[in-house]
Amino acid sequence: MNSTPADAATVTVERDGHVLLMGLNRPAKRNAFTRAMLAELSAAYGLLESDDDLWCGVLFAHGDHFTGGLDMVDVGAELASGKFDAPEGGRDPWRLDGTWTKPVVAAAQGWVMTLGIELLLAADIRVAAQDARFAQYEIRRGIYPFGGATLRFPREAGWGDAMRWILTGEEFDAAEAHRIGLVQEVVADGPAAIERATGIARVIAGKSAPLGVRTALRSAHLAREHGDGAAIERLRPDIARLLSTTDGAEGIRSFIERRDAVFTGR
């Protein structure tokens, strides 16, 4: 298991088999994002997407809070310029730069403010601790959510519930986040949220065919971005392609032999 020491980075990166654990690591500042922290998360996402041996990611936070949002003192000038330059090989930290092929499971606790909600919305599956407190607070600072909430929040929660929180900036709790679909599960505390999110990721990486996972994600993205018809056109060609792979053959053999499949990603 390879890892980045917790005291050497604002985003820790650790391999757990085929799972990449990405930990927000500025707990003394409630994991508020600096430019360096955005760049490190970008690099971690770039690694997840580019490494064929990584099949699923987990986004979590060290300390008592997921994130208090952006450290505006550090990032304000860059935001005013209207751009964010990802490091070489990195991906957009808000996951807004096109289709992604690897699923991400997120775990949140404590403060989940502004950017924190958008990081959850960018993930595929979300788990929250009971103490999680959410606020899309940008509107009260003279700006608006620019990291994907205006796109993703209405899609996940429905128009009325999304606008309720985006336009007021008011705080809501984990029970409300679960009710509106922002998170899929609520558990006892932060460590339990991380454990549950990691467990889900391990199921995906350990039991699901990685080529099948990528294809399922691509199909869902295609339907959402280009309509059902575009996705329907790919259904049968994609299943034919998957059945011609080594993993496809293994899936059929495991069914016949009544055992768990052992997938290799080929």
Q: How far is CA 96 from the centre of its chain?
A: 11
pLDDT of res. 3: 44
pLDDT of res. 82: 65
pLDDT of res. 138: 95
Q: What is the pLDDT of residues 207-230, one digit of tens each?
A: 999 999 999 999 999 999 999 999
The mean pLDDT of the chain is: 94
Rounded distance, CA 226 to CA 229, Å?
8
**Structural tokens at position 39:** 């760049």
Q: Binning pLDDT at 50, 70 and 90, where does residue 81 land?
A: low
pLDDT of res. 80: 66
Lowest mean pLDDT among 23-32, 83-92, 232-241: 83-92
Q: Binning pLDDT at 50, 70 and 90, where does residue 33 land?
A: very high
Three-state DSSP at 253 gives: helix
pLDDT of res. 72: 84
pLDDT of res. 5: 46
Q: What is the pLDDT of residues 166-194, one digit of tens each?
A: 999 999 999 999 999 999 999 999 999 99
Beta-bridge partner residues of 14: 3, 21
Say which residue the tokens 């052992």 belong to.
262
pLDDT of res. 98: 87
This model's pTM is above 0.85: yes
Rounded distance, CA 103 to CA 93, Å?
14
Distances (CA, A) of 61 to 30, 31, 45, 152: 9, 8, 15, 22
pLDDT of res. 84: 74
pLDDT of res. 109: 98
Q: What is the pLDDT of residues 48-66, one digit of tens each?
A: 999 999 999 999 999 999 9
Each as own residue / partner, the long-range contacts of residues 210-213 (CB below 8 Å, 24 or more positions apart, any chain) are 210/18, 210/55, 210/247, 210/263, 210/265, 211/242, 211/245, 211/247, 211/248, 211/263, 211/265, 211/266, 212/242, 212/247, 212/251, 213/55, 213/56, 213/102, 213/103
